[in-house]
Amino acid sequence: MPLIQVDAPRGDLDKSQQDALMSQLSNAVLKAERAPLDSAGAQSLVWAHFNEKPEGAFYVGGTPLEKPPFRIAVTTPQGALNDETRTSLVAEIGRIVDDVVGPYEDRLNHWAMLYEVNDGGWAGAGQVFRLGDIQQAMDIKAA
């Protein structure tokens, strides 16, 4: 049950690039969580937001940046990832952003930030979802 939030400069990607970025990021997170990509349950629980920011909204050292990096924030339930899957996810995010956005000369083209929600802290529809409940809904087999 990951949540992906991408902050991007307005107009940097056309709609097909945006769709490709969000689809590839969604599948990368599902893969890192060990969810089957062909599972309708898993696909229905990966939510993603693409947030375009207006020109002049990104700053470095107090100065607006003309071509800012993308920010990729991935939130997962605590325990859904381990050191190995976090490392592989970050590498895959880097590859995806390089492919879709392209590298920036002499600096990073994105930041990737991984967040975890404490077990019992993920809820919806008036109920708490524990990691085991989420993994069952996503067809994830215990490792």
Q: Report angle CA 67, 72, 73 to the nearest 5 degrees.
A: 140
pLDDT at residue 60, as a whole number: 86
User: Hey, what domains does the chain have and what are their CATH numbers?
Assistant: 3-137 (3.30.429.10)
Q: Token pair 């381990």 is at which residue? A: 82
A 10 A CB-CB count for 6 gives 21
Averaged pLDDT, 72-96:
97
What does the pLDDT look like over 130-141, one tens digit per residue?
A: 998 899 999 998
Q: What is the pTM of this model?
A: 0.93
